[in-house]
Amino acid sequence: MSTVFIALQTNEDTRPIIEAIAHDNPQAVVHRQPAMVKIDAPNRLVIRRESIEERLGREYDLQELQINLITLSGHVDEDEDAFTLTWNS
């Protein structure tokens, strides 16, 4: 098992995104550090556009993640609907 992670800036933009990630990835652990939130998950983490849109109340383009992204770990696969991080271990 390897840990994939994504870290986002702590701000109003990311609050619903973090909620959506925690909801869609029950294995994920959310660490709140000064000015940033780091989310770890075993082997795989999925960020789903629809889940974010539900919480945000507007259309969301997953590429908007770029603005508040700090770092990540794992192989990235991105399309319109999901942004996925994985390790093959």
Partner 1 sequence: MEMKVAKKKLGLKERYRVMTRDLGWEPSYHTKEALYPYVGYEGIKIHDWEKWEDPFRLTMDAYWKYQAEKERKFYAIVDAHAQNNGHLNLTDARYLSALKIFLQAISPGEYAAHKGFARAGREFPGVGTQVACQMQAIDEIRHAQTQIHALSNYNKYYDGFHAFSDQRDRIWYTSVPRSFFDDAMSAGPFEFMVAIGFSFEYVLTNLLFVPFMSGAAYNGDMATVTFGFSAQSDEARHMTLGLECIKFLLEQDPANVPIVQAWFDKWFWRGFRVLGLVSTMMDYMLPKRVMSWREAWNMYGIENGTALFNDLARYGIRPPKGWDDAEKAIDHMSHQFMLGLYQWSFGTSFHSWIPSDDEMAWLSKKYPTTFDKYYRPRWDHIKKLAAAGTPYKNYGLPKLCQTCQLPTVFTEPEDPTLICHREVEYKGERYHFCSDGCQHIFENEPEKYIQAWLPMPQIHQDPIRGDLGAWMDWVNLKDGQDNGDYVGSNDQRNFDAWRGLATSNE
Q: Which is nearer to partner 1, 22 or 82 (CB)?
A: 82
Q: Which is nearer to partner 1, 23 or 32 (CB)?
A: 32
Tell which residue, 58, 54, 39, 46, has the closest CA to residue 82: 46
3 binds partner 1 (CB under 8 A): yes
76 binds partner 1 (CB under 8 A): yes
63 binds partner 1 (CB under 8 A): yes
12 binds partner 1 (CB under 8 A): no
Distances (CA, A) of 7 to 4, 29, 50, 66, 69: 10, 12, 20, 11, 6
